[in-house]
Structure 1
Amino acid sequence: MRLHRLDITAFGPFGGSQRVDFDALSAAGLFLLHGPTGAGKTSVLEAVCYALYGSVPGARQSGQGMNLRSDHAEPGIRTEIRLELTVAGRRLEITRQPPWERPKLRGKGTTVDKAQTWLREYDSTARAWQDRSRSHQEIGEEITQLLGMSREQFCQVVLLPQGDFARFLRADAEARGRLLGRLFDTQRFADVEKRLAERRRTTEARVRDGDATLLADAHRMQQAAGDAMELPELAPGEPGLAEAVLQAAAVARATARERLTVAHCRLGAAESAHTEARRALGDARELARLQDRLAEARRRAEDLRERAGAHREAQQRMERSRKAESVAPALELRDVTEEEHRRADRAEAHARGLLPDSYADADAGTLAGAARRAAEELGGLDAARRAEQRLAALIEERAGLDRQERADDDVLREAESWLADWDTTRAALQTRIDSAQEAATRAEQLAVRQEPMAARLAAARTRDELAADLEAAGQRARASEQSALDARSHWLDLKEQRLNGIAAELAAHLTDGEPCAVCGATAHPAPARKVAGHVDREAEERAHADSRRADRQHAEDERRLGVVREALAAATAEAGDTPTDRLEAQTAELEREHARARRDASALHAAHEELRRAEQERERRLADRQQAAVRTASRLTRRETLEREQALLEEELAQARGTADSVAARAAQLERQAALLTGAADAARAAEDTAQRLKDADARLADAAYRAGFDTPRAAAAALLDDAAHRELQHRLDAWHREEAAVRAVLAEADTADAARLPAADVPAAERTAATAERRLREAASARDAADRCCTELDRLSARATEAVRRLGPLRDEYDRVARLAALTAGTSADNERRMRLESYVLAARLEQVAAAATVRLQRMSSGRYTLVHSDDRTGRGRSGLGLHVVDAWTGRERDTATLSGGETFFASLALALGLADVVTDEAGGVRLDTLFIDEGFGSLDDQTLDEVLDVLDSLRERDRSVGIVSHVADLRRRIHGQLEVVKGRTGSVLRQREAG
């Protein structure tokens, strides 16, 4: 990668536009970037990083927008960074404009524009720049892929920052591991460790769950078997659990089957006894039924003899009713005719009462003639009624014209009033739309900032929780370490005591005549004796076991402490040092601002709709005003026509209505008179007809009564029965006959007569015997069912337990294998002699490469005195792999890098940075880095060392590299001719470039 040109506008301390020509500066290989403190030397490097990655390194990366803008810039100038470079054989131009708050084009206040990015590529064939993309994401992925480095790697390799590598030299293994992990992307190895640990926990939980399930099935079998199964006290994970459960289940199944056989035998005996008892009960009940049936029949026969007289009277009453039924039609006809005659007389009297007194004695014919004359006069008023109706319609139409005129006047006044305020209304609605649009833009910008802020807040809360957990974990680790030391010391003391008294322990096994195991003698004149407090082998082994358990507990506490420390470092790296309450306040304020902006923006659609409705209302008002004017002109002509026609109709109606108030009133009088006369005539004729029919009905009734054998019609009517009485009497007669037949049939039965000769049946005793047999049968069946269920449940649970034991076998093997791998990669296994984690092992190899690459330059800078070497010695926590030492050729000793002086630390750091740049470059795919920057530190070197360092940097030109040194050391301005000076002032900083020539 080689930089060609950098254009900066309104960025950092630069209020205006500045340009850096890197091609001219790097012609000599070395160039100097200098200026007073605070002028903006580092801002030039930040501009390069922002152009490539869209963010700046260091503490300013949280201000990825507004904070990048120069406070010295004019309000109308937008911040912009343009970088031209060559990478992977392609010449590219990247332009980035961060978001900025600009003045509104209309009205007062400001609005925020979104960030913009452009990527162009120079086409050597067409000799022109070609646009490639305007997407932030696409451009970021393209640049990262071409460089092969993330932003952190780029800032560590190309922009060698001041002080970082000095801290790297003095850092502990954990801090070195974090830095190397970010540069060499060893997260995949840490993920392997995490994945194995998770699998170990998962398989351990599955094994414990399997044991717990097996033990639960065993307890269920014990509950089902009752006292037939004895289960020892067991817990998940104990050895021999499966064998104990299966053995107890086999014993329980055999016992349950024996109990089931006994229950079947008892059930058969109970069923036989129950059948015999039910048969005896049935016989007793049948005998009791027959005896009760005969007694009841005799009682019913006596009752029939007592009611024989009432039965004969009912038969005679039914006979007279049958004779009277032949007279019933004549009676019914006479009653109907008499009722019709009474109604006709009342109707005639009512109709004559509505007529004048002159018609009181008129017959039906006279009344009908008067009705015809009134109808003829009514027919002559049809034309007058139509004229009257037309006159009413004319009056209503004129009234409608008046109402329409008044309505049109109201429409015109309202339309004129509304249209007069149209300009003011439209301006107010447009202002609301503009305000809502600006709020929507602001809401989008705030939404972009919410997610990073929420992530920082969550990380800060996690950081606070882990800080407390770290202290507790540290205390536990220190306590377990002391416990392990005490246990080991106790074991060694006991071991020493046992060795001191080992002679007595050996003498306890001596036998006269048998050779000694130590000296071979067969005579034992004075064997050693055990003294008080003698330590035997068992006591020593217990102390040894306690010591090993304490060591394992200490290792586990150390592992937990490391996990908490790593999690705390990750949370601190994400959240920074900002207090949580301040982040919560900032997050809450951001959320409130976003809510306010969204609430204001939500009015945009309503404002648009209201403006659209207002415009539609204006169009409608204009159309209403025009239509009202047209209707006013047409009403004048119509009103004149109606007035002429009304005058003619009023003259005609005055003649037709006579003395009545109106033609309708006169017509109503005639209609009412004709109707009354017609009704009276009809009523008179109806009265005459009904009187004749009544006379004929009386004659037919008298003849029918005589033929039926009754003296008078009244006697025939008295003999008649209504339907209810007839049905009731017939029901009584039928019931008598049924009862008589039933009693006769029962008295004739042979079985009933035989039962009467036997002793009375004892049903309660038979029922008690049957109930006892049934209870014993239920108890036997329940016992048989319980034994059957017990056998079935034990078989099912035993099969499930056997299957669980079969499944748990491979799972236990998998847990053992995963646990060994997880302990090995985590550095806690005894097989891992140096206690190195997998990630640390990979980083140690990378650190060894970095140390070798740095030594090549460090030896030249130190005149062959110093050499950097990698060390895999264990650290204070017992881990190893990331140590870094320096070998002093003058003393021949290897010592810690923290013992270097200030100047020695600087050139050692510089050599380490250059070596790291080479290794990371190779790791990134061999991307050539033709431009490097070194930030500060040269002021700590003497003249000779400075010459040696500059010689090493100058040698980088052999690889066609250009190195930019960022420093304010005055001596460097005399030694390096290519210079880029940053000059600060009240209106902002400016750049002055001087080429090597």
Structure 2
Amino acid sequence: MRLHRLRITAFGPFGGTQEVDFDDLSAAGLFLLHGPTGAGKTSVLDAVCFALYGSVPGARQGGSLRSDHAAAGVRTEVALELSVAGRRLEVTRQPPWERAKKRGTGTTTEKAQSHLREYDAPAGSWKDLSRSHQEIGEEVTQLLGMSREQFCQVVLLPQGDFARFLRADAEARGKLLGRLFDTRRFAAVEQRLAELRRAAETRVRAGDTELLADAHRMQQAAGEIVELPLPGLDPGDPGLAGSVLEWAAVARGTARERHTVAHCAQQAAESAQAAADRALDDVRDVARLQRRHAEATERAARLEESSADHDEVRTRMERGRKAEAVGPALDVRDTTEAEHRRATDAETRTRARLPEEFADSGASGLATAARRAAEELGGLESARRAERRLTDAAAERDALDRQERADEDVLHEADGWLSGWEANRADLRTRIETAQEANTHAEQLAVRREPAQARLAAARLRDRLARDTDDAHALVLTAREAAVDAQAHWLDLKELRLKGIAAELAAGLVDGQACAVCGATEHPAPARKVEGHVDRQAEEAALAAHRRADERRAEAERRLGVSREALAAATAEAGDTPTELLAEQFAELERRYSAARDAASGLHAAREALDRAEREHDRRLAAQQEAARRVASRASARDALDRERASLEDELTQARGAAASVSARAAQLERQAALLGEAADAARVADDTARRLKDADARLADAAFRAGFDTPAAAAAALLDDDAHRALQRRLDARQQEEAAVRSVLAEPDTAAAAGRPAVDLAAAEQAAVAAVRRVRDTASARDAAARRCAELDRLSLRASAAVRRLGPLREEYDRVARLATLTAGTSADNERRMRLESYVLAARLEQVAAAATARLQRMSSGRYTLVHSDDRAGRGRSGLGLHVVDAWTGRERDTATLSGGETFFASLALALGLADVVTDEAGGVRLDTLFIDEGFGSLDDQTLDEVLDVLDSLRERDRSVGIVSHVADLRRRIHAQLEVVKGRSGSIVRQRSGD
């Protein structure tokens, strides 16, 4: 993959459009990307990553990609032209953009846009491939063969990450390597085996639990017949199945023995019960016959005692049959008498409601008076109509009076309101003019308000930056003193070490081996370390402290420069005016602006009030004219109503007579006619019922004499109703049946013979039979329980045997999966180094990385250092991701965390380059012609820097280019091809210089 051209618009710190020609920079092989802190060096690399993958590196995700310096109408865009896999492509991406609406106010958000083109060399033009985010992402990932995380680690080499990688533990290394080499499938294998193991274990335990549950059910079914306890094993324990089956066999044998004993006991109880039942039947027959004879004797005695009552009932029955001939005449007489009483009562009630003048009138006189009242009532209909019209006329006259008063109120109110109309209209127009003037004044003040507010904010920032600058200057002085002291301390220790270097070299002398200085193999008087001797570690610690102090000094000076630049900018905007005076001026301006806004806020309300007043004026003027017209037309109507009322009153005075009104007179006549008609009808009915009652008395006396009764009352007393007649007949029939039944029982031979025998003991025979039944029931229950126990134990035993057969393959599967799961998880005894499967794969990758990194590390360290992979155990007994460095000067192997700052840099650089090679091979061997290395060169001395640059220069073989991102000033002299990022108040810009 080779980068050709990058175009950035409104992205990060770049407010405008900036272009980077990587072909020009890559011509020299090495090029430098530099600039002050915060200028946007990293943003150039972010733009490359965003163009390819649609997102920036992980540590910088989540923020806005749009530049704060960009103009409102300029959209953020990144376009990258590159060659990969023999194809020349151009990727253009635009993140989501919030812009002002084309119509109306507010903003709208446009969606992200992507565009992929390919250069067609034969045609000499670009052709579109896709505008889909997903398709472009898949195409780029497939061509590069790397994910975004791998690209950021391989192409954008972050030195700080690999320095931490050298000092990290196995777990942290595993996380980084896992992201780069995508070993998730091996971790998935571990997880899947662990899941299979848990699932198999769950199935085995579930089977054992079910088997133990069946064993407990068998124990519960067996009860106390088995003295042998259940085996005390838990689910998963070996031997559980055999123990359960053995116990089940013992329980089944014992249960069958108990069932045989219960069967024999039941047969004996059933024989005893049959004998007891036969004896009870014999005793019951004799007792029944004896009881039957005694009852018949008692019934015969009771019949003899009730013979007198029987004769009286027969006499009453005979008199009742004779009185039945008189019954119809009695019924007619009672009915006629009841009708006559009702008619007489009705006549009395109706006559009581009549006037006294009709008290003695007969039925014909009452009917005549009712006809006269009805005729007079018919003559009042015309008077009724006149009375209703008089009421309507009075209502109309009242309505005219109410309308008269309402119109007078309308005229009075309209006159009063219209009299003040001119003054009210002038006042409203004055309010509108005043509000318009205030609105104009508020607009003028608003123009002055924003600059004043910005100047006040700049003044406050100026004051704060002045304080920050003073604090930064004090920190610079302190850092400079500390750096000078640290340098002096390091030089002193270095001088002391040089003085005692002979003793340090003598410490490594061995008899028989050549001296590194003189070559002698004998060492008769080696130098000795004196008190206060300074070794190499102390000198390196002092040098590291000196470098840290110098870095703090440089950082303090940089912060002081930044503060001074910001202070100068704030002072240029705010001027020299004190902040307090600016605050007072802005407060006064704000007060005047608020007052003008408040006064102008009533403009709309005043205009609406004037519109409402004008509409009200038109409405009241029209109402005044309409009310005057109605008053003029109402006088003639009032006179006509007065004349009509006088005529109607004369007519009604003659018609109502002494009554209060015609309606009252008509109601009086209606009630009188109705009462007279009702009284006449009641009188006629009373006369008719009196005649029919006299005829009924004569017929009743004749019927009683013919039936043999002295008076009608005697016949009525002897008459029986249906219920009484049926009751007497039932008594006669019941006595006849009872006499026949008693004679039949006393004549039976068996009953007479049983009566001559002694009394039997029925209770004793019944108790014996009940005891026999109880014994049969108890023995049957015992036999049924024994049979159920046998059946339940047989069923549960078959179920347990089937469960044992099913558990066999499950146990074998669990043992096999458990061995594999513990082996891949590193917890098996067969896994001597306790290395997980994923760690094993990563260890192989780490071994490849270490081998690839060593080729460059030896060159950068002049053959001193070699990176090796270690399988030693570390942390929780695991191993596989150890990384050591072999020092050729001492011949010792030590952990990479013990490297110094400069050694850590070129070791991490070698590791990054080696990792890039391995990841590239892993990704399918995609050639990477453009690499970037980020920072870390400031910790190198001149000689080491030359060696590192030689290694980087070797990367140019086969037309490969390397970009270095660094602040080191010496690199600007060594590397001629440069891309400088310059920051300013309106955003950053790039300046490109070729290597010529």
TM-score (norm: length of structure 2): 0.69
CA shift in 2, pair 1:396/1:924, >3 Å: farther
Q: Contact 1:934–1:963 at 8 Å: present in 2 too?
A: yes
Change (3 A) 1:56 1:228: same
CA deviation after TM superposition for structure 1 residue 895, in Å? 5.2
The answer to whether structure 1 residue 164 and structure 2 residue 161 are counterparts is yes
Deviates more, 1:678-687 or 1:959-968: 959-968
The corresponding residue for 1:228 is: 226
Measure the CA separation in 2 of the matches of 1:707 and 1:647. 88
In the alignment, is the contact (CA less than 8 A) between 2:905 and 2:939 conserved in 1? yes
What is the one-letter code of the residue matched to 1:34? Answer: H
- Given candidates 58, 80, 87, the residue that maps to 1:84 is 80
Residue 196 of structure 2 corresponds to 199
Number of the residue aligned with 1:34: 34
1:167/1:224 CA distance change after superposition, 3 Å:
same
Q: Deviations over 1:521-567 (max 9, x none)?
A: xxxxxxxxxxxxxxxxxxxxxxxxxxxxxxxxxxxxxxxxxxxxxxx
**Kindly tell me: are residues 684 and 185 of structure 1, through their superposed partners in 2, closer, same or farther at Cα, counting changes over 3 Å?**
same
SS state at 2:159 partner: coil
- Residues 288 and 760 of structure 1 are in contact (CA less than 8 Å); yes or no, is this contact kept in structure 2? yes
Work out the CA distance in 2 between the residues paired with 1:788 and 1:402: 113
- Matched with 1:471 is none
- 2:91 aligned partner, one-letter code: L
Matched residue SS, 1:758: coil
Give the Cα separation in 1 of the matches to 2:50 and 2:642: 95
Q: Matches of 1:337 and 1:713 in 2, distance apart? A: 16
How far did residue 663 of structure 1 move? 3.7
CA 1:38–1:298: 2 relative to 1, 3 Å: same
Give the alignment of 1:898-917 within 5 angstroms: 898=897, 900-917=899-916
**Structure 1: how far apart are the matches of 2:150 and 2:359?**
131
Which residue in the other structure is 2:207 paired with?
A: 210
Written as runs of structure 1 = structure 2, the 5 A alignment for 1:71-110 is 73=69, 80=76, 82-86=78-82, 89=87, 90-97=89-96
CA contact (8 A) 1:162 1:936 kept: yes
Aligned residue for 2:683? Answer: 684
Task: Note if 1:121 corresponds to 2:116.
Answer: yes
Q: 1:970 to 1:382 in 2, by over 3 A?
A: same
Which residue in 2 is equivalent to 1:579?
A: none
Q: What is the alpha-carbon distance in structure 1 between the residues aligned to residue 400 and residue 751 of structure 2? A: 107
* Distance in 1, Cα, partners of 2:925 & 2:404: 94
Q: Deviations over 1:79-100 (max 9, x none)?
A: 9453434476442211124889
Which range moved further: 700-709 or 847-856? 847-856
5 Å-filtered alignment, 1:601-620, equals none
Instruction: Return the letter of the residue paired with 2:172.
Output: A
CA distance in 2 between counterparts of 1:406 and 1:968 reads 101
1:7-47 Cα distance to aligned partner (Å, 9 max, x none): 25373xx2733524243663424332212344443344345
d(CA) in 1 for partners of 2:48 and 2:995?
Answer: 22
AA at the equivalent of 1:737: Q
SS class of match (1:794): helix
Q: Deviations over 1:851-871 (max 9, x none)?
A: 333344445444555544434
Identify which range, 739-748 or 74-83, moves more after superposition: 74-83
AA partner of residue 216 (structure 2): H
* Percent identity between the two aligned chains: 68
Encode CA deviations 1:217-251: one digit per residue, 9 max, x unaligned. 23332333333352464313444332232223223
1:26/1:266 CA distance change after superposition, 3 Å:
same
Q: 1:653 to 1:806 in 2, by over 3 A?
A: farther
**Correspondence 1:328 to 2:327:** yes
Mapped partners of 1:779, 1:933: distance in 2 = 99
Secondary structure of the corresponding residue to residue 228 of structure 1? coil
Quote the offset at 1:715 in angstroms: 0.9
Partner of 1:601 in structure 2?
A: none
Distance 1:989 1:91, change over 3 A: closer
Q: Distance in 1 between matches of 2:721 and 2:637?
A: 76
Q: Does the 8 A contact of 2:350 with 2:675 survive in 1? A: yes
Q: Aligned with 2:978: secondary structure?
A: strand
- In structure 2, the partner of 1:370 is 369
Change (3 A) 1:840 1:393: farther
Residue matched to 1:714: 713
Q: Does the 8 A contact of 1:391 with 1:650 survive in 2? A: no
Residue 225 of structure 2 aligns to a residue in which SS? Answer: helix
**Of 179, 185, 188, which residue of structure 2 is paired with 1:188?**
185
Q: 1:659-705, CA deviations, whole angstroms, 9 ceiling, x for partnerless residues?
A: 34444323212211211221121122112111111111111111221
Alpha-carbon contact 2:347-2:686 (below 8 Å) kept:
yes
Whether the aligned pair in 2 keeps the contact of 1:120 and 1:129 (CA below 8 Å) is no
Shift of the 931–95 alpha-carbon distance from structure 1 to 2, 3 Å rule, reads: farther
The one-letter code matched in structure 2 to 1:920 is V
Q: Which residue of 2 aligns with 1:532?
A: none
Distance 2:404 2:956 in 1: 100
Task: Work out the CA distance in 2 between the residues paired with 1:865 and 1:134.
Answer: 52
Q: 1:685 to 1:106 in 2, by over 3 A?
A: same
1:121/1:386 Cα in 2 relative to 1: closer, same or farther (>3 Å)?
farther
Aligned pairs (5 A) from 1:255-270: 255-270=254-269
- Who is 2:489 aligned against? none
Task: Assess if the C-alpha contact under 8 Å between 1:25 and 1:979 holds in 2.
Answer: no
Structure with bigger gyration radius: 2
The 5-angstrom pairing of residues 777-926 of structure 1 reads: 777-862=776-861, 866-875=865-874, 878-886=877-885, 896-898=895-897, 900-926=899-925
Pair 1:925–1:312, CA change in 2 (3 A)? farther
Match of 1:493 in 2: none
In terms of mean alpha carbon deviation, does 854-863 or 173-182 score higher?
Answer: 854-863
Kindly provide the amino acid, as one letter, of the partner of residue 280 in structure 1. A
Pairwise CA distance, 1:825: 0.9
Number of aligned pairs? 769
What secondary structure sits across from 1:227 in the alignment? coil
Offset, 1:763: 0.6
Structure 1 pair 300–817 and aligned structure 2 pair: CA distance change class (3 A): same
Question: How far 1:769 sits from its partner (Å)?
Answer: 0.9
Residue in 2 that maps onto 1:4:
5
What displacement does 1:984 show?
A: 4.4
Q: CA deviation at 1:331?
A: 1.6
* Aligned residues: CA RMSD: 4.3
Deviation, 1:881, is 2.8
Distance in 1 separating the partners of 2:648 and 2:98: 92
- When residues 133 and 305 of structure 1 are mapped into structure 2, their CA distance, relative to the original with a 3 A threshold, is farther
Shift of 1:778: 1.6
**Quick one: which amino acid aligns to residue 42 of structure 1?**
T
SS of 2:95 mapped into structure 1: strand
Aligned to 1:736, the other structure's residue is in SS state helix
Match of 1:21 in 2: 20
Give the TM-score, by structure 1 length: 0.69
Matched residue of 1:342: which SS?
A: helix
Is the 8 Å Cα contact of residues 51 and 96 (structure 1) preserved in structure 2?
no
Q: 1:355 to 1:123 in 2, by over 3 A?
A: farther
Q: What is the distance in 2 between the residues matched to 1:221 and 1:241?
A: 15
Structure 2: gaps spanning 5 or more residues? 414-615
- 1:134-149 aligned at under 5 Å gives the runs 147-149=144-146
Within 1, Cα distance between the matches of 2:648 and 2:656?
11
Deviation at 1:364, TM superposition (A): 2.1
Q: How far did residue 802 of structure 1 move?
A: 0.4
Segments of structure 1 that go 5 or more residues without pairing to the other structure are 414-621
Alpha carbons 1:865, 1:888 under 8 Å: kept: yes
**Residue 966 of structure 1: CA displacement?**
0.9
Structure 1 residues 667, 923: closer, same or farther in 2, change over 3 A? farther
- Contact kept in structure 1, 2:390 and 2:648, CA below 8 Å: no
SS class of match (2:698): helix
Describe the SS at the equivalent of 1:946.
helix
Give the equivalent residue in structure 1 for 2:244: 245
Alpha-carbon distance between aligned partners in 1 of 2:986 and 2:321, rounded to the nearest angstrom: 137
1:801–1:117 CA distance, 2 compared to 1 (3 A): same
Relative distance call for 1:652 and 1:868 in structure 2 (3 A) is same
Deviation of 1:114 (Å): 6.7
Counterpart of 2:244 in 1: which secondary structure? Answer: helix
Matches within 5 A, 1:444-523: none
- For residues 824 and 406 of structure 1, the distance between their equivalents in structure 2, rounded to whole angstroms, comes to 112
Q: Describe the SS at the equivalent of 1:19.
A: strand
* Closer/same/farther in 2, CA of residues 706 and 238 from structure 1, 3 Å limit: same
Residue 783 of structure 1 deviates from its aligned partner by 1.3
